[in-house]
Amino acid sequence: MAEQASIGAPRAAASGVKPGLGCDSALHIAWGLWITMLAIPFVTFIVMIWALMGSSEGSGEPQGNTVLAHKWFIAAMAYMAICVPGAFFLRSRMFKGYWSGQIIAPREYLLGMSTIWAALELGGLFSLLGCIITNTLLPCLLPALLAFMLFTPLWPNGHSMTRPLYNEHDPADYEDPR
How does pLDDT run across 39-82, given as a tens digit for each residue? 999 999 999 999 888 765 555 555 778 999 999 999 999 999 99
Q: Which domain holds residue 84?
A: 25-54+64-162
User: Where is average pLDDT lowest: 23-32, 105-114, 154-163?
Assistant: 154-163
Q: What is the DSSP string of the chain?
A: -HHHHHHHHHHHHHHTPPPS--HHHHHHHHHHHHHHHHHHHHHHHHHHHHHHHHHTTT-SS--S-HHHHHHHHHHHHHHHHHHHHHHHHHHHHHTGGGGGTPPPPHHHHHHHHHHHHHHHHHHHHHHHHHHHHHT--TTTHHHHHHHHHHHTT-----HHHH---S-TT-TTT-----
What per-residue confidence (pLDDT) applies to 163? 73
What percent of the chain stands above pLDDT 70? 76
Q: CA-CA distance, 170 to 128, in Å (whole number)? A: 42
Q: CA-CA distance, 94 to 88, in Å (whole number)? A: 10
What per-residue confidence (pLDDT) applies to 12? 42
Amino acid at 66: T
- Any domain includes 12: no
- Any domain includes 132: yes
- Any domain includes 15: no
134-154: pLDDT as tens digits = 999 889 999 999 999 999 999
What per-residue confidence (pLDDT) applies to 29? 94
What per-residue confidence (pLDDT) applies to 130? 94
Number of domains in the chain: 1
- Any domain includes 38: yes
- Any domain includes 34: yes
- Any domain includes 111: yes
- Any domain includes 48: yes
Nearest of 151, 149, 144 to residue 178 by alpha carbon? 151
116-133: pLDDT as tens digits = 999 999 999 999 999 999
- Any domain includes 137: yes
Amino acid at 178: R
**Mean pLDDT over all residues of the chain?**
82
